[in-house]
Each structure stands twice: as structure tokens, then as C-alpha cells.
């Protein structure tokens, strides 16, 4: 999602208490930001925040962090949160490539990826948020029992993602190529902005849920306390 550059969006984000400035300083201490020990779920590439904000309203016992690369897009999510504040939500403007500088080992319990950019050229495959390179980053920050949930209407990206789950050494917990007609997986589904747009065109929505096999394996030189 690219919006026209909105003048003042960077400044509005820098001045907002809902947006975490210098998020790398919170690494390992995100629970202090929220003032509780609730699990932390993140959405990467949240766009204007419709999905994350609805999820946060329905689950006050979970802390949610929305990550978005572009200020002009994040500003739209920020405006929604300012109109209808939720104590369990924070935003970060950042590129997901920096995830491991911002979250410590095992600090995140769930990662949502919704309608991620497809990066159709082969040479850009590692930029896709479901590439094996990104699964390696997710493994580093996920807590035991943590998982990734990914939705898209892009069939090529979905097939690529299914392959990458295996290539990354992860377990495919569940998947469907038609979420809205899957009696089990559609349960409690919250639509994103892109999901509303593309399903209205008749596109089936694909979803996968994946988790690392070796989440409890002790990493070299670390205590097995995750
Ligand atoms: N998730 C929303 C939805 O489903 O309606 C928005 C989908 S939009 C196609 C993808 C969003 O991900 C865009 O807002 C884009 O700026 C953001 N994005 C893409 N790559 C990113 C990255 N590496 N780090 C953070 N955000 C990213």
C-alpha cells in the first residue's frame, strides 16, 4: 500500500505516544511499554490498521504492535487509534528487515502477515515477508508455541510461501486456498482492508498457519530458558 506522501506524517508519528520512537531501545522490554505481562502479537505491514485495531478491541488480554514501513500509511492507522484509543496497541514505523534489532528472543507470541507485497521478480524473492530469510528472523523473535498467520489472494505468492515454510524447516499447521468457505479456518476471521477489496472482486482468500519445529531447541551458547 503506497499512499501519496502526506506532508507532516513523519512529524505526527514522531510526536505520538502511540508510536514507539527508537523501538530498538525497547528490545527485550516490550512488556514495560504496555505495563503488563500479556503476550505480544505483531502485524507486519499493517497498512491502515483495520485488522489490528479490530483484533485488539476483541482481545484486551493481548498486546498488539502494528508495524508499517510508510509514514503516510501508518498515519491513517494512528488517526483511527486517536479517535478510539486502545491501551493494548502500539505502532512502529520501520522496515521488517530490522525485526531482530527491535524484538528480543522469544518476545513475540504471534506474527500476522496480511496481503504482503508480492515482489513478483525472482531476484526480489528474499524481500517477500514469507521468504525463508524472513522465517529465520521470525524464529528468532517467536516465543515457544508461537506461530505465523498469513493471508493473501495472490496464488503465486501463496504457493511460494507454502514451499518456503518447508524450506525454512517450519511446520505447516494448517492451510486453505479458500478461507471464506473453509468451515473451520474462517471461524473468527477478521477482514483486512485488502481482504475486503479482493474478496469483493470474487478472489478466493488463501491462508496458512506455520510454526517453527525447533522452537525449544537450545541455541548455541544460550541457556534453554525460552
Ligand atoms: N495488511 C494490510 C491489508 O491487508 O489491508 C495492508 C496490505 S498492503 C498490500 C502491504 C503493506 O505492507 C503496505 O502498507 C506496505 O507499506 C507494508 N510493507 C511492505 N513491506 C514491508 C516491510 N518490509 N516492513 C514493513 N511494512 C511493509
Decide if 70 contacts 138 (C-beta within 8 A): no
Is-catalytic flag, 174? no
Catalytic pick from 117, 173, 178, 182? Answer: 117
pLDDT band at 1 (very low <50, low <70, confident <90, very high): low
Atom of ligand 1 nearest to the CA of 45: 12
The whole-number average pLDDT for the span 199-225 is 75
Q: pLDDT, tens digit, for every residue of 105-160?
A: 999 999 999 999 999 999 999 999 999 999 999 999 999 999 999 999 999 999 99
Radius of gyration of the chain (CA): 17
Pairing type for strands 170-176 and 206-212 reads: antiparallel
The rounded distance, in Å, linking the Cα atoms of 68 and 45 is: 5
The whole-number average pLDDT for the span 77-94 is 98
The rounded distance, in Å, linking the Cα atoms of 180 and 3 is: 28
Whole-number Å distance, alpha carbon 68 to ligand 1 midpoint, is 6
Whole-number Å distance, alpha carbon 109 to ligand 1 midpoint, is 20
Quickly count: other Cβ atoms within 10 Å of residue 200's Cβ.
Answer: 8
Atom of ligand 1 nearest to the CA of 113: 1
Q: Does residue 117 line the site of ligand 1, with CB under 6 A?
A: yes
Question: Alpha carbon of 192 to those of 47, 97, 99, 189: distances in Å?
Answer: 9, 23, 22, 9
Q: Does residue 1 line the site of ligand 1, with CB under 6 A?
A: yes
Quickly count: other Cβ atoms within 10 Å of residue 69's Cβ.
Answer: 16
Decide if 70 contacts 2 (C-beta within 8 A): yes
Q: Does residue 92 line the site of ligand 1, with CB under 6 A?
A: no
Which strands sit side by side in the sheet containing 89-93, from one edge to the other? 89-93, 63-68, 40-44, 108-114, 142-152, 206-212, 170-176
Whole-number Å distance, alpha carbon 1 to ligand 1 midpoint, is 6
Question: Alpha carbon of 75 to those of 14, 63, 84, 180, 190: distances in Å?
Answer: 11, 20, 14, 30, 21
DSSP lists the bridge partners of residue 89 as: 64
Residue 210 has pLDDT above 70, yes or no: yes
Q: What is the predicted pLDDT for the residue at 214?
A: 66
> Mind giving me the DSSP string for 103-131?
S-TT-EEEEEEES-----SGGGGGGSTTS
The rounded distance, in Å, linking the Cα atoms of 46 and 1 is: 9
Q: Does residue 45 line the site of ligand 1, with CB under 6 A?
A: yes
Q: pLDDT, tens digit, for every residue of 160-208?
A: 999 999 999 999 999 999 999 999 999 999 999 999 999 999 999 999 9
Q: What is the predicted pLDDT for the residue at 3?
A: 67
Q: What is the predicted pLDDT for the residue at 216?
A: 47
> Mind giving me the DSSP string for 147-185?
EEEEEES-HHHHHHHHHHHHHTTEEEEEEES-GGG-TTT
Q: pLDDT, tens digit, for every residue of 17-74?
A: 999 999 999 999 999 999 999 999 999 999 999 999 999 999 999 999 999 999 999 9
Q: Does residue 58 line the site of ligand 1, with CB under 6 A?
A: no
129 CB-contact burial (10 Å; exposed 0-12 / middle 13-18 / buried 19+): buried
Q: pLDDT, tens digit, for every residue of 20-29?
A: 999 999 999 9
* Percent of the chain's residues with pLDDT above 70: 93
| Residue ID of nearest Cα to ligand 1 atom 13 | 1
Q: Does residue 109 line the site of ligand 1, with CB under 6 A?
A: no
Amino acid at each position: 500500500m503506497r499512499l501519496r506522501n502526506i506532508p507532516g506524517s513523519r512529524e505526527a508519528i514522531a510526536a505520538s505516544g502511540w508510536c514507539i520512537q527508537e523501538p530498538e531501545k525497547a528490545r527485550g522490554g516490550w512488556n514495560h511499554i504496555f505495563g503488563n505481562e500479556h503476550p505480544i502479537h505483531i502485524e507486519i505491514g499493517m497498512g491502515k490498521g483495520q485488522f489490528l485495531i479490530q483484533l485488539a478491541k476483541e482481545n484486551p488480554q493481548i498486546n498488539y504492535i502494528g508495524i508499517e514501513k510508510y509514514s503516510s500509511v501508518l498515519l491513517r492507522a494512528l488517526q483511527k487509534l486517536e479517535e478510539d484509543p486502545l491501551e493494548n496497541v502500539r505502532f512502529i514505523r520501520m522496515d521488517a528487515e530490522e525485526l531482530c534489532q527491535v524484538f528480543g528472543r522469544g518476545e513475540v507470541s504471534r506474527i500476522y502477515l496480511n496481503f504482503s507485497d508480492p515482489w513478483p521478480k525472482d531476484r526480489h524473492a528474499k524481500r517477500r515477508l514469507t521468504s525463508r530469510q524472513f522465517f529465520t528472523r521470525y524464529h528468532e523473535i517467536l516465543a515457544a508455541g508461537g506461530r505465523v498467520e498469513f493471508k493473501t489472494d495472490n496464488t503465486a505468492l501463496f504457493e511460494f510461501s507454502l514451499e518456503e515454510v518447508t524450506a525454512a524447516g517450519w511446520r505447516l499447521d494448517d492451510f486453505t486456498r479458500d478461507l471464506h468457505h473453509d468451515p473451520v479456518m474462517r471461524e473468527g476471521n477478521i477482514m483486512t482492508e485488502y481482504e475486503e477489496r479482493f474478496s469483493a472482486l470474487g478472489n478466493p482468500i488463501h491462508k496458512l498457519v506455520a510454526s517453527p519445529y525447533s522452537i525449544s531447541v537450545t541455541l548455541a551458547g544460550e541457556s534453554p530458558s525460552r
